[in-house]
Amino acid sequence: MSKKYRVGILGATGTVGQRFIQLLADHPQFEIACLAASDRSAGKAFVEACPWKLATPMPEKVKEIMVQPIEPPLDCDLVFSSLPSNVARQTEEAFARAGYPVISNSSSFRMDEDVPLLIPEINHDHLGLLEVQKLKRGFNKGFIVTNPNCAVISFAPPLAAMHEKFGVESVIIATYQAISGAGYPGVASLDITDNVMPYIAGEEPKVEIEAQKILGKFTGQEIEKADFIVSAQCFRVNVIDGHTVSARVKLRETSTLEEVTEAITNYPRLDLQSSPENFMVVREEPDRPQPRMDRDTGKGMTITVGRLFPDNIFDYRFVSLSHNTIRGAAGAAVLNAELLISKGLI
Amino acid sequence: MSKKYRVGILGATGTVGQRFIQLLADHPQFEIACLAASDRSAGKAFVEACPWKLATPMPEKVKEIMVQPIEPPLDCDLVFSSLPSNVARQTEEAFARAGYPVISNSSSFRMDEDVPLLIPEINHDHLGLLEVQKLKRGFNKGFIVTNPNCAVISFAPPLAAMHEKFGVESVIIATYQAISGAGYPGVASLDITDNVMPYIAGEEPKVEIEAQKILGKFTGQEIEKADFIVSAQCFRVNVIDGHTVSARVKLRETSTLEEVTEAITNYPRLDLQSSPENFMVVREEPDRPQPRMDRDTGKGMTITVGRLFPDNIFDYRFVSLSHNTIRGAAGAAVLNAELLISKGLI
Amino acid sequence: MSKKYRVGILGATGTVGQRFIQLLADHPQFEIACLAASDRSAGKAFVEACPWKLATPMPEKVKEIMVQPIEPPLDCDLVFSSLPSNVARQTEEAFARAGYPVISNSSSFRMDEDVPLLIPEINHDHLGLLEVQKLKRGFNKGFIVTNPNCAVISFAPPLAAMHEKFGVESVIIATYQAISGAGYPGVASLDITDNVMPYIAGEEPKVEIEAQKILGKFTGQEIEKADFIVSAQCFRVNVIDGHTVSARVKLRETSTLEEVTEAITNYPRLDLQSSPENFMVVREEPDRPQPRMDRDTGKGMTITVGRLFPDNIFDYRFVSLSHNTIRGAAGAAVLNAELLISKGLI
Amino acid sequence: MSKKYRVGILGATGTVGQRFIQLLADHPQFEIACLAASDRSAGKAFVEACPWKLATPMPEKVKEIMVQPIEPPLDCDLVFSSLPSNVARQTEEAFARAGYPVISNSSSFRMDEDVPLLIPEINHDHLGLLEVQKLKRGFNKGFIVTNPNCAVISFAPPLAAMHEKFGVESVIIATYQAISGAGYPGVASLDITDNVMPYIAGEEPKVEIEAQKILGKFTGQEIEKADFIVSAQCFRVNVIDGHTVSARVKLRETSTLEEVTEAITNYPRLDLQSSPENFMVVREEPDRPQPRMDRDTGKGMTITVGRLFPDNIFDYRFVSLSHNTIRGAAGAAVLNAELLISKGLI
């Protein structure tokens, strides 16, 4: 039996923090060592501090862990972070500087030039940036890697498949995002019952810039962003988990529907612990994907694509979906950590 | 006191039929004379036949009206129709041929070359087609007019305002459609609770072709369709009433945001009985329009536009909303009837 | 034209405060003069301070009113209060002492011996307590009257009808309460989507004690509480407005179903401005009352009773429903104010 | 490896039929051999015939099974039935007469004197009725066993614990039932969004009579029903899975809260394949049980009890919850089949 890495979770009491705990509770490579949360929670047993909102029960082993303040040192080998963006930047940098690998789900560092923004199946070579990062920031052992925004992860994978083969020129997006994306208490029930919210603060700009970096090329020194444009309108709908995206894509080269379908379906998977059997699946039924039916595919790590058709203005249209707090947050970060281990970087 | 027109309602027990009754119950120009519905209902008192689903009570005056079969003759001056498309074509033609003005909410005749597809504020001059229609079909006194699909009405008005001033080239649409649009029993609760449905049978093609006819020019003989393309992806969301639309528009001429806002805000209203004080309103708040908050604006007859911004791929993006069973169905037909009266055509 | 009373609203930005504004905007007897809210809001125009959540728009006339701190003096003739219970006691007493009639929807004073807990149709004679109150508290012109908890109002009226005729001995209640009862942001969407909450903090004790006072007898000096017991289990369900109650009642005297139905149906109404045409209605359909269909009956002021049957353990069972923010809150207080005017007490 | 029993599922395409397939797909004792459904489905591959509505995907192994008509013979060792009550009586009897053990979730035979109505943990000795049944009906190898109504299973277990120790005299119930209990399409979304339905056809009588048989004593010849009375009001709420019950219980003997809690907590479990680790759990948190959080406890086979307190009219009040399509339907039947195997009756 190989040794387990001892992990700390920053922001452990939040919606994504809870997913980290759920995903790591029985993970063969990781062991939850430290739980850190805001001052209000610090000093309490986790079971007292955390308003647990997942449908699976809180794992016994974390209940009595004493919540610590969110600052180094923590007695662990690496940290997962799901801090709110207003505190993430300073805190994550502090942990990296103190020697911890920081696997972050926060948005703060995603667009920093020297920080990898990872979807392991797509751009694991971006890990080469870590050398640049250490040099530039004077980090010793520590570093920061990030995963994308929870809505971006729903469409970036099919986009990657198309981009690689046919070149993407423009993408027009409208989202149908789940309430769990706003954390807890998050969305007020009076705002979303019998309603749609056409606005999520700060979301559209994020959704419009991240994919170009993710699908960019690592030159050995930096990421050359992919040269397509994304236009995004983001909406909150009355769904618990699962972000659905409506997409129209204009390609640079001509392609047939069969070629596009094949590019998505055959896009290579990885073989990490949390990798789903299928990175992406393309459904042929007219009424899929649906969040309640498809979000848990591949234990929440598979992206489901459907309604893939030629478009009458752009080249193709499709609908895609992923689980926003698993593949779109905690699961993405855990996969990043597994990638780092497999590359010998942790 | 002027005489009231005596109306028949075809499909009176359905969701839209109920809205007709609600809107006509105290209407100064109309009086409900006949209620017609499928064989299952015919012969029963309306109160027995109809599973009333509106939050306002069934008007007393219709409760004891005996439901009649859906066939001429009916003892009335005109008929409103909200028949399912599989029976609408034959039945509505039969009524028109029998001499009745048919004001239809069904999709059957909308795209027929000689049938006006009306949004009174936008294209009341299309009523000129009625002469063509009577000649072509050999109708005597009867005729057929239609109103648009309930999703089209949410974006066609702001589009009309832009088209008239700057010329529309392309429109990319994603919809957030309410469950009442599917009638009753309609959408199963297991399909929409904690869920989004990415498919509404037959909807996307309708949404892609109607606006070009509505915004077309009447030459005196026919409608020259407007030469833009609409791409639509249609979704059902967990909202009772109110269709929201996300839109990106490419224009032929340059324009400023102020000019576009003004074109929408100042688009002329009509002065019919059911005309709202504002045909369209543009909201400046970041989180509007919302179906629960805005669908009843102007008694459900106003289109609410919001999040109107320049787009990074097309020229403008916006979100618009209308009440799908009022402005998008029964209210639209009632407004059409009022228009016909005002023009002396009934 | 008679003079309008100038009113202040304490807690104007909350869910109930908004209902006060909606109900008073076009009220023939009242005119909104002052809006008071917490320090965070004070000093701002109401339109800036208030997250308006009603489906009808914010009345123009209140938009520019400057929100004031919640303390006397306010330039008005009386105040409506919907303060949170932690501040209501001290603040409402201060206003009464400063000479204002305080018509309160808060729970603080409801069970005080010298404070009327009113449902005008049932116990308007309890207003006699105001003399006792003034004497006891040394109030000059000011005083405090209260209305019941929003769940109590759903079942107290049919209970009153039964109690008067047959004597109530015990009542067993389970509630189905709407999210608007918790204010805004109130219930988190993650707590109520696809869920039921079996707990509302502090609610069950209130529901178990208020009806006895409401149905009590005023001796000229005090209220002799009605001698029945209420057992209540309170639940939050995924409904926007409208509290539904399941009830079983044990009576002291035998009665027939017809007599009980008649006692409810014929219970006398009042003739105040906001009095509904029917104080209570008994529905015969098997599937009524339903909150979405029945909460707006009588503009939200009618109590709808249904499923009234003999019970196999107690004597009768029924389901009753009222609009929790109208008849159960703001509308109740407005009715109380109308009653006070009609009795010459304001 | 022991042999697997080959099973047929009657009503395989319905909501409960789908749960049977989900629960049996990897079951160590059973193997799905036949799927039978209505004439409309018969002759099609299951994947074509069934509108699959579970969030886990349809098992590969059933997709190509050809759906058969619901009539003997079927090539299997036993049948699970979830037929609608109008066809269940005749069909299930036909299968039993043809020699099949029929493990039914339908209501048709539940109250027949010679048919066991089983909750294995509570009354497995009622299996003695099978001898009586065979004799009376002239069955050879076949027989019928049933499981309770999905709402009854939520409260019968804690009731059994109390009844055994202290004797139950009366029970007053109000339910909060999930939409999946009505099958598919079942509850219309327009009926349950922003709404509560106070009526489920035929439900209240079933809920009022089944517990007395379940908790009855088997004399060797018949079941002597337990002599308590149940009063039930049944409501549908906007929840996907999980029936919640509000209960008040009057006992024959005095007891302390600790004794009652202990009676429930320590009620013996069984050791069958599908038995949960805990038959019942008593939660101490004020806001549990909740359907979304607790329905999957014990893989949907545990009953969760909470808010257990002394009552001011009866002796105790509590809230209990079980998963209506697992412990309340398919899982109950599978457990019954496992019990039959363990007793050597299959």
Provide the pLDDT for residue C4: 95
Give the one of D198, D237, D292 whose C-beta lies nearest to C287's C-beta: D198
Angle (CA) B156 B158 B164, round 5°: 90
Angle of the D85-97 helix axis to the D129-137 helix axis, nearest 10: 80
Interatomic CA distance for residues D77 and D337, integer angstroms: 11
Helix (H) or strand (E) run with residue D145 in it: strand D143-146
DSSP notation for A111-140 = T-TTS-B--HHHHGGGGGHHHHHHHHHT-S
- The reply to whether C96 and C178 lie within a common domain is no
State the DSSP string of A28-49: SSEEEEEEE--TTTTTSBHHHH
pLDDT digits (tens, 9 = 90+) for D5-37: 999 999 999 999 999 999 999 999 999 999 999
Q: What's the rounded Cα separation, in Å, for the pair A1 and A110?
A: 35
Indicate whether A80 pLDDT > 80. Answer: yes
Tokens at B163, concatenated = 């088209």
Pairing of strands A168-176, A243-251: antiparallel
Taking only the tens place, the pLDDT of each residue in D259-287 is 999 999 999 999 999 999 999 999 999 99
Give pLDDT, residue A3: 82
List subunits contacting chain D, requiring 3 or more Cβ pairs under 8 Å. A, B, C
CA pseudo-torsion sign D66, D70, D75, D81? positive
Q: Which of residues 198-217 of B touch A (CB under 8 A)?
A: 198-199, 201, 208
Position B86 confidence tier, pLDDT thresholds 50, 70, 90: confident
Is D53 in the B-facing interface, judged by CB distances under 8 Å? yes
- Which of B49-58, B90-99, C37-46 is most confident? B90-99
Q: What global pTM score does this model have?
A: 0.96
CATH number for the domain including D272? 3.30.360.10
- For residue B305, give the amino acid letter: V
Cβ within 8 Å, pair D187-B184? no
CB contact under 8 A, A290 and B319: no
Q: What is the pLDDT of residue A191?
A: 97
Q: Pairing between strand B303-310 and B316-322?
A: antiparallel
Mean pLDDT along residues B153-169: 98
C233 contacts chain D (CB < 8 A): yes
Q: Is B126 a catalytic residue?
A: no
- At residue D280, the 3 state secondary structure works out as strand
Examine the domain organization and report whether B163 and B287 are in the same domain: yes
Answer whether C2 touches B (CB < 8 Å): no
Does D243 qualify as catalytic in the annotation?
Answer: yes
Our CA-based measurement puts residue D287 at a distance from the nearest CA of chain C, in whole angstroms, of: 5
Say if residues D103 and D80 touch (Cβ distance below 8 Å): yes
* Rounded distance between C-alpha atoms, residue C7 and residue B324, angstroms: 39
pLDDT at D83: 95
Burial of C135 (0-12, 13-18, 19+ CB in 10 A): exposed
pLDDT, tens only, D61-106: 999 999 999 999 999 999 999 999 889 999 999 999 999 999 999 9
Chain C nearest-CA residue for D295: C195
Cβ distance of D180 and B190 shorter than 8 Å: yes
Name residues of chain C where pLDDT drops below 50.
none
Task: List the single best residue of C189, C192, C236, C241 to mutate versus A (max A Cβ within 10 A).
Answer: C189
Residues C324 and C180: their CA atoms lie apart, in Å, by: 8
Q: How many residues does chain B have?
A: 346
Q: What integer pLDDT is reported at residue C85 of this predicted model? A: 84
Tally of domains within chain B: 2
Please tell me whether residues C172 and C279 are part of one structural domain.
yes
Please check whether residues C31 and C121 belong to one and the same domain. Answer: yes
C-alpha span between C91 and C98 (Å, rounded) = 11
Q: Which two tokens stand for residue A346?
A: 């942790």
- Do D184 and D132 belong together in one domain? no
Provide the angle, in degrees to the nearest 10, between the axes of the packed helices C257-265 and C152-166. 120
Six token digits for residue C127? 């207003």
On whether both D141 and D184 belong to a single domain, the answer is: no
The amino acid present at B137, given as its one-letter code, is: R
Least Cα distance to B249 among B304, B312, B176, B172 occurs for B172
Classified as helix, coil or strand, A83 is coil
Contact between D312 and C229 using a beta-carbon 8 Å cutoff: yes
Per-residue pLDDT reduced to its tens digit, C123-156: 999 999 999 999 999 999 999 999 999 999 999 9
Please give the residue range of the domain that contains residue A214: 152-323
Distance CA A146, CA A213 (A): 12
Q: What's the rounded Cα separation, in Å, for the pair A85 and D47?
A: 46
Could you give the CA distance from residue B187 to residue B176 in angstroms, rounded to a whole number?
14
Predicted confidence at residue B227, as pLDDT, reads: 97
- Element housing A86 (H / E): helix A85-97
A58: nearest CA in chain D? D293
Residue B1 reports pLDDT greater than 80: no
| pLDDT for the residue B266 | 97
Could you tell me if the ipTM is greater than 0.85? yes
Strands A217-218 and A223-224: antiparallel
By Cβ distance, the residue of D174, D197, D238 closest to C238 is D238
In this complex, is the C-beta atom of D75 within 8 Å of any C-beta atom belonging to chain C? no
Q: Kindly tell me if the per-residue pLDDT of D1 is higher than 60.
A: no
Q: Assess whether B143 and B188 both reside in one domain.
A: no
Say which residue, C1 or D4, is predicted with more confidence.
D4
* Mean pLDDT of the A173-179 span: 98
> What is the per-residue pLDDT across A95-113, written as a single tens digit (0 to 9) for each?
999 999 999 999 999 999 9
Closest CA in chain D for residue B15: D190
Do residues D92 and D168 both lie within one domain?
no
Based on the fold, state whether residues B160 and B262 are members of the same structural domain. yes
Kindly tell me the sign of the dihedral angle through the C-alpha atoms of C113, C116, C119, C125.
positive
pLDDT digits (tens, 9 = 90+) for B13-39: 999 999 999 999 999 999 999 999 998
pLDDT of residue A86: 86
Structure tokens at A278: 């299928």
Is the pLDDT at B262 greater than 80? The verdict is yes
Task: Fill in the amino acid letter for D95.
Answer: F
The verdict on D143 touching C (C-beta cutoff 8 Å) is no
Query: Are residue B231 and residue B267 in the same domain, yes or no?
Result: yes
Establish, for the pair of chains B and D, how many residue pairs have beta carbons separated by less than 8 Å: 60
Tokens of A1: 């039996």
Residues 6+ apart with CB under 8 A from D129: D114, D115, D116, D218, D222, D223
Q: Tell me the β-bridge partners of D101.
A: D143
Q: In this complex, is the C-beta atom of D344 within 8 Å of any C-beta atom belonging to chain B?
A: no
> Is C99 found in the same domain as C144?
yes
CA atoms within 13 A on the CB side of B92: 27
Whether residue C187 sits in one domain with residue C116: no
Question: Residue B85 — very low, low, confident or very high, per pLDDT cuts 50/70/90?
Answer: confident
Cα(C54)–Cα(C36) distance, rounded to whole angstroms? 19
- Provide the angle, in degrees to the nearest 10, between the axes of the packed helices C152-166 and C203-214: 40
> Nearest chain C Cα to B47, which residue?
C285
> Mind listing the pLDDT tens digit for each residue in B179-214?
999 999 999 999 999 999 999 999 999 999 999 999
CATH number, domain of A111, equals 3.40.50.720
C-alpha–C-alpha distance, residues C274 and C335, integer Å: 6
d(CA B10, CA B8): 7
Q: Which two tokens stand for residue A258?
A: 């069969």
